[in-house]
Amino acid sequence: MEGEKLNTFIRLLQRVRKQPSQTFDLGLIVKELGSRVEVGEVFEEIKRTVNIERIVYDETIFDEDTIDKIVDTFQKNKWVFLEIKKDIGSFLLNQLKHLANHNFLQLIDYQGKDIFDMKMPENSRLVIFAERDFIENKISYPHFYRLFGPTLSLK
Amino acid sequence: MPNPETIRFKSQEELKEEEIERKIKERGREGEILGGIVFEEEKVVDPETKEEKTKRYIYIGNPYEERPIITKLETDASREEIEAIKREIIPMRESFEILEAMARTYKHRQPLLIEGSTAIGKTYLADKFTELLYGRGVKLLDFYCSGQTDVSELMAKWVPKVETEDEKKKWNEFLELAETQVKLSQIAQEVEQAERLSQEQKLALIHTRLQELAKSAGLSEKNQWRFQYGAVPKAMGLIRNSDGSFSFNEQKGMGFTLHIEEVGLAEPQVINALLKLRGKRGQLAEEIQIWENGGRKVKAGPKFWVFFSTNPPEEYLARNEVDPALARGVVFIRMGELSEESLRLAADYYFSYKLGEKPKEKPEGCILDIYNHPEIGREIAKVIAAFHNDLNKELKKGEKGRQQRIPLTLDDMARVADALIDTQVRNKETGLLDLTESLKKLIHFYYFDRLADQDLKETMKTNLNELLEGVTGKIEFEGKVLTRKEIFDILVERASITEEEKKRLEQEEIERKRRELEQAKHDAEDAIMSALQNPNIPKEIKERLREIKLE
């Protein structure tokens, strides 16, 4: 794995705040077809630099639980490493878009509030890991790439 | 002298209108837009208490228009807040077209639908419009549609109160079945058609059906259920509390702004549900009936407003135009592509760092404080705007064999601009900032690595190199035809000179001139000496030459 590229990727996520909204970006790591890089290896490499927790979004987890885990990780001021292994449901997609556009989670009737707003902490970020083939053929939302700032392609 | 019979005195109202129009159309010394949004305070007498109050208003109009339509709206924001929000809006023609449409439709309680490319800034301007109405940092209610959006997310649903993880899992699995969704909509239909039943009876019917549903999901028949409103009724009855939090009252709420994004991706049943929002005379409905709750009505508060947005069909695969029924029920504006002029203006704003606060101290990783050098920013803006435009054209053709679409947004430029502040590469030969390499590196992260089509990636890399260093990318600069890299190097070198170096160079220049003068003096003395020794020169002239004093 190209360590220097990964370091720049993390640095861009840590530092860059887009003008004029001053929002941080979500990051995308794409495993290209034929790449031998393992997801665990990438996660461990990032973990050396930042405090990060891994969430696997697959058939065994529901959107609500994924959101709960993201909220919980943000409350601990940690980064989220979200490995996407199934098409993104509407509920999660909504929150990813909220995070990408406003750095906020906005949930209706959540934790006893009519509108629950949670700002992504200054020290937290969200990184999504997915395989190129999966993004292209399994993710039904056609503007998936638009959710992200820096993209790291792993060959 | 004008004929006194034709002189017309303007009313106070007319004079005020003219003053506001002048402010809306105000431009700076270099022709830049300063108007578009105008803040005014007015003293008004409360008809009930007879007390005089100061009310705040904003006027919004398109400054690019010769005779702009100007809309006056009440605002909670202060003058300072309005000025700060204005500074965060790139004054592109398209931005004001959108803001003007928002203001006009908001005032008349009409739903607005804007179809326009991603780069045009619909989401950002909806946020800014909300801030213009309510103050800095106030966020609207946002709902994003996709092909998987369910009507219940927008309208309402019943959720079982499950106690254990096992029950939660069972229920969620059950909910994901298409059959369940059909059963749920059947319950709502059954209630809708049960006209003779009272509301209490309808609720009882719903509970019976839900318990049957719980049983088929493997949950206890005695399960408790919780009713949950979706984004639409919530926005209709929201109350903004003084601490910024929200509460909800389905009958007495003030209502709030709801932005439903990417409505073009929604399935027909979602569009059908949204049609409930159509009211009389093109306005928003004053109330909607929620069948999932026995047909109870939710009233739309006076500040409830809905803004729909979507991208053009060509930006989505296998998507048609906006649903005609929805298009008929809203004010529908179809925007064109962002013009090249606007793209250049946006790039100029980003790379001249006009939109936010500049770092007070040079951050780590910053070799040259480019944010303090607009002359460099302007040259970078030209390159990025050209590259962005070039890639956008390629992407519009569609990438080879790919399902995903990558419409470029202005955010991509903003990211490169911000990253360029402290992600800089040093030129090993000169020790100065290597602007060309720094840009290439950032474009890689923000543009290239998203591309799946390797051929396109290679083509764009070649195009970028040609633009920066090739013959075709050359432009005229200070009377010479140079590559962009050469121009960047010149500008970086000039900007890299420190104050001390500047003083040293000035001192060297003074010294050089002193030496030149000294040399000239010696040359003159030699010439006089030589003339005095020349026998052919007349005596009178020699005497004159002796009188010359060189200082």
Which residues 253-272 of B have a C-beta within 8 angstroms of A? 261-262, 265
- Alpha-carbon span B431 to A45, nearest angstrom: 31
Judged against a pLDDT cut of 90, whether residue A28 lies above it is answered with yes
Residues of B in Cβ contact (< 8 Å) with A33: none
Which residue in B449, B451, B456, B461 has the most chain A C-beta atoms within 10 A of its own C-beta, making it the best mutation to test that interface? B449
Q: Which of A110-114, A126-130, B140-144, B312-316 has the lowest mean pLDDT?
A: B312-316
Q: What is the pLDDT of residue B26?
A: 96
End-to-end CA distance of chain A: 8
Q: 3-class secondary structure for B475-509?
A: EEECCEEECHHHHHHHHHHHHHCCHHHHHHHHHHH
B481 DSSP β-pair partners: B476
Rounded to the nearest 10 degrees, the angle between the axes of helix B410-422 and helix A3-15 is 100
- Alpha-carbon span B512 to B401, nearest angstrom: 67
Judged against a pLDDT cut of 90, whether residue B331 lies above it is answered with yes
- Alpha-carbon span B202 to B192, nearest angstrom: 9
Residues of B in Cβ contact (< 8 Å) with A135: 404
Q: What is the pLDDT of residue B74?
A: 96
Q: What is the pLDDT of residue B399?
A: 59
- DSSP 8-state class, residue B449: G
ipTM: 0.93
Q: What is the CATH number of domain B340-496?
A: 1.20.920
Residues of A in Cβ contact (< 8 Å) with B381: none
Q: Which of B10-14, B129-133, B327-331 has the lowest mean pLDDT?
A: B10-14
Q: 3.30.450.20, 3.90.1170.50, 3.40.50.2300, 3.40.50.300: which CATH number matches A3-10+27-154?
A: 3.40.50.300
What band does B225 get if pLDDT is binned at 50, 70 and 90? Answer: confident
CA distance B117 to chain A (A): 12
Q: Which of B527, B550, B549, B523 is nearest to B537 (CA)?
A: B527
- Alpha-carbon span B83 to B249, nearest angstrom: 33
Residue B433 backbone dihedrals phi, psi, to 5 degrees: -65, 130
What band does B547 get if pLDDT is binned at 50, 70 and 90? Answer: confident
CA distance B251 to chain A (A): 15
Single pTM value for the model: 0.87
SS3 call for B188: helix
**B422 contact A CB<8A:** yes
Judged against a pLDDT cut of 90, whether residue B392 lies above it is answered with no
What band does B316 get if pLDDT is binned at 50, 70 and 90? Answer: low
Beta carbons of A150 and B415 less than 8 Å apart: yes
Q: What confidence tens digit (pLDDT) does each residue in B85-140 have?
A: 999 999 999 999 999 999 999 999 999 999 998 878 999 999 999 999 999 999 99
Q: What is the pLDDT of residue B539?
A: 86
- Alpha-carbon span A11 to B89, nearest angstrom: 27
Q: What is the pLDDT of residue B401?
A: 57
Residues of B in Cβ contact (< 8 Å) with A148: 450
Which residues 109-148 of B have a C-beta within 8 angstroms of A? 118, 123-124, 127, 139, 141-144, 146-148
Judged against a pLDDT cut of 60, whether residue B319 lies above it is answered with no
Q: What is the pLDDT of residue A47?
A: 96
- Nearest chain A residue to B153 by CA distance is A91
Q: What confidence tens digit (pLDDT) does each residue in B164-212 have?
A: 778 777 777 777 777 887 787 788 788 888 878 888 888 888 888 888 8
What band does B497 get if pLDDT is binned at 50, 70 and 90? Answer: confident
Domain ranges for chain A, please list them: 3-10+27-154
Q: What is the pLDDT of residue B320?
A: 59
Tell me which residue has tokens 């409360």.
Answer: B46
Judged against a pLDDT cut of 80, whether residue B407 lies above it is answered with no
Judged against a pLDDT cut of 80, whether residue B223 lies above it is answered with no
Long-range contacts of B214-220, Cβ-Cβ distance < 8 Å, separation of 24 or more? B214/B160, B216/B174, B217/B170, B217/B171, B217/B174, B217/B180, B218/B170, B218/B174, B219/B160, B219/B162, B219/B167, B219/B170, B219/B171
Q: Which of A25-29, B68-72, B419-423, B540-544 has the lowest mean pLDDT?
A: B540-544
What band does B296 get if pLDDT is binned at 50, 70 and 90? Answer: confident
Q: What is the pLDDT of residue B315?
A: 66
- DSSP 8-state class, residue B400: T
Instruction: Give the list of residues 6+ apart from residue B415 with CB closer than 8 angstroms, or none.
Output: A16, A18, A25, A149, A150, B442, B446
Q: Which of B393, B387, B394, B400 is nearest to B452 (CA)?
A: B400
Beta carbons of B142 and A101 less than 8 Å apart: yes
Long-range contacts of B175-179, Cβ-Cβ distance < 8 Å, separation of 24 or more? none
Instruction: Give the list of residues 6+ apart from residue B56 with CB closer than 8 angstroms, or none.
Output: B39, B40, B41, B74, B75, B76, B77, B78, B79
DSSP string, B320-381: -SSPHHHHHTSEEEE--PPPHHHHHHHHHHHHTT-SSPPPSSPPTT-SS-GGG-HHHHHHHH
Residues of B in Cβ contact (< 8 Å) with A16: 415, 418-419
Q: What is the mean pLDDT of residues B304-332?
A: 83
CA distance B227 to chain A (A): 10
Q: Which of A23, A24, A29 is nearest to A9 (CA)?
A: A29
- Alpha-carbon span A27 to A25, nearest angstrom: 6
Beta carbons of B419 and A18 less than 8 Å apart: no
Beta carbons of B150 and A12 less than 8 Å apart: no
Give the mean pLDDT of chain B.
89
Domain ranges for chain B, please list them: 4-135, 156-229, 340-496, 501-547
CA distance B428 to chain A (A): 18
Q: How many CB atoms lie within 10 A of CB B48?
A: 6
Q: What percent of chain B has pLDDT above 90?
A: 56
Q: Which two tokens stand for residue B479?
A: 């009377």
Q: What confidence tens digit (pLDDT) does each residue in B24-57 have?
A: 999 999 899 999 999 999 998 888 888 899 999 9
